[in-house]
Amino acid sequence: MLTTDSIRKAYEDMLAELQAHDEVTITKHALGAPITSEAEQREIAEALRLPLTPTLQAYLAFANGLSLEWQYEEGCNGGSIGLIDLRTAANPETWLAPMDALEFPIESYGIEAEEALGAVYPIEFFQYDEDNVELAGVITGRDTIDVFVSEDEVACLEDTALLSFGDYLDLLFRSYGAPMARAALQMGYSNTESKRARDLYPGLFEKTYSLSELIELSRSEPNNEEIAAFFR
């Protein structure tokens, strides 16, 4: 189980490796203020219709929001993390603007998501490449926190593999925010009995990736099959 200390260590280890790499330039970096009051944490969870799990508590006690972007060449996005302030996630006015950067309108996401999975809220907007913004969201009203990642196609929401919140944070930090790692959650997905990413793609949670390997993968402009093979 993740703790505030283990989340902080994973984040600081990732940041230190990025800062030490000769080819990496960090272009954006900010941490939201932590929320340690259980009453405030519970208020956030209730607004989002989520259970106040130990992992969510540990994350909020570390930071309520995290922005990080880095490049390995001018204009070449290496990684992007855009976890938003969860106090605002239930208020559409706070995330309509970033949603406008997506290819499809917010209405399409909301309608399609509710039909396929139940009501959802975004928790992250991240830069996939120079032109495309994508999102991660949570499904509300469940006993667990289930995270999905959506690509440009709205229909992907119905067939996305789901992660626990802890697994999602772990993947973000281990992959240095590389958007291709999140894309690998959907490539080759088949509508099997289990929708859990850990069941479908165990390699995604067992492999380790060096920062240099991720840069070389991105530089090679891989196709979908090559991305899936690398991460899974």
Nearest-angstrom CA–CA distance, 153 and 132: 12
Yes or no: say if 10 and 177 are a contact pair by the CB < 8 Å rule. no
Q: What confidence tens digit (pLDDT) does each residue in 189-223 have?
A: 555 555 788 887 888 888 888 999 999 999 998 98
Least confident of 93-102, 122-131, 196-205, 209-218: 93-102
Most confident range, picked from 69-83, 113-127, 132-146? 69-83
Most confident range, picked from 68-72, 102-106, 112-116? 68-72
Residue 164: strand pairing partners: 146
Global pTM reads 0.87
DSSP letters for the chain: ---HHHHHHHHHHHHHHHHH-TT-EEEEEEEPPP---HHHHHHHHHHTT----HHHHHHHHH-S-EEEEEEEETTEEEEEEEE--TTSTT-HHHHHHHHHTSSS-HHHHHHHHHHHTS-EEEEEEEESSSS-EEEEEEE-SSSS-EEEEE-S-GGGGGGPPBEEHHHHHHHHHHTTT-HHHHHTTTTT----S--BHHHH-THHHH----HHHHHHHHHT---HHHHHHHH-
Q: Mean pLDDT, to the nearest integer, of 128-146?
A: 80
Domain positions in the chain are: 4-231
- Confidence at 51, pLDDT banded by 50, 70, 90: very high
- Confidence at 110, pLDDT banded by 50, 70, 90: very low
- Confidence at 90, pLDDT banded by 50, 70, 90: confident
Yes or no: say if 182 and 136 are a contact pair by the CB < 8 Å rule. yes
Q: Mean pLDDT, to the nearest integer, of 170-185?
A: 90
pLDDT(98) > 60: no
**Mean of all residue pLDDT scores within the chain:** 82
